[in-house]
Amino acid sequence: MSTRQAVLFDLLTALLDSWSVWDRAAGNREAGRRWRAAYLELTYGCGAYRPYETLVREAAEATGLMTVHAEALEAAWDELKPWDDAREFLDALAPRYRLGVVTNCSERLGRRAAAAIGVPFDVVVTSERAGFYKPNPVPYRLALTELALPPDRVTFVAGSGFDLIGTAAVGMQTLWHNRAGLAKPPQAPAPFAERRTLRELLPFLQD
């Protein structure tokens, strides 16, 4: 019988197709992917919280885009949609696990993004509320504290390989939903399992 009692998720990559929204805001897929890659580097290298919207704008400028593109992204924020198998995946887990998200986002935008999933979460931790960006251990530990569970009772579903660094630091088993086919950061440990869809990860959460 499983001792796992909760599943935590990265929000903007593991559960939501944020890539498409960034691509549209940038004007094309190539520019959107460069912008989002720069943003991921900024947030995962940031440590202590700086305004999320500032980092998005700085990443845009670093890749040849402008403030207007960052404004377009925020204007399109409510167009975020779950991956096609996200609801099926969460519905399968909900009877057995408590569910939550840990996201590198502002509180305002993080709550709106979590609402886009369409299911209730027991815990929503944003980097703004935690005071640090992932993979600093603080956001993950805050989620564990709010769940009142030790790390060995919780599985984390990552969307980016950088999450593997933070979850390893707190001792959580991690599954990687690598939908975008991202390269694992060299310093990150291997996940417990890595798949391209949530549906393929479901067996690892069923006994």
pLDDT tens-digit readout, 65-79: 999 999 999 999 999
pLDDT at residue 2 tops 70: no
Write the single-letter amino acid at 124: V
Considering only CA atoms, which of 74, 104, 141 is closest in space to residue 13? 104
Query: pTM above 0.85?
Result: yes
Contacts of 196 (CB under 8 A, 6+ apart): 177, 178, 179, 181
pLDDT at residue 43 tops 50: yes
Helix H segments across the chain? 18-26, 29-46, 52-62, 67-75, 86-93, 107-115, 127-130, 137-147, 163-170, 198-201
Question: Residue 33 to residues 156, 184, 186: CA-CA distances in angstroms?
Answer: 25, 16, 20
Residue 53 main-chain phi, psi, to 5 deg: -60, -30
d(CA 143, CA 156): 11
Write the pLDDT tens digit of every residue in 127-158: 999 999 999 999 999 999 999 999 999 999 99
Residues in the chain: 207
Average pLDDT over residues 57-63: 96
**Residue 206 banded pLDDT, cuts 50, 70, 90:** confident
pLDDT at residue 24 tops 90: yes
Of all residues in the chain, the percent with pLDDT exceeding 70 is 99
| Average pLDDT over the chain, rounded to an integer | 95
Write the single-letter amino acid at 135: P
**Segments of the chain assigned to CATH 3.40.50.1000:** 6-17+79-205
Q: Fold for domain 6-17+79-205?
A: Rossmann fold (3.40.50)
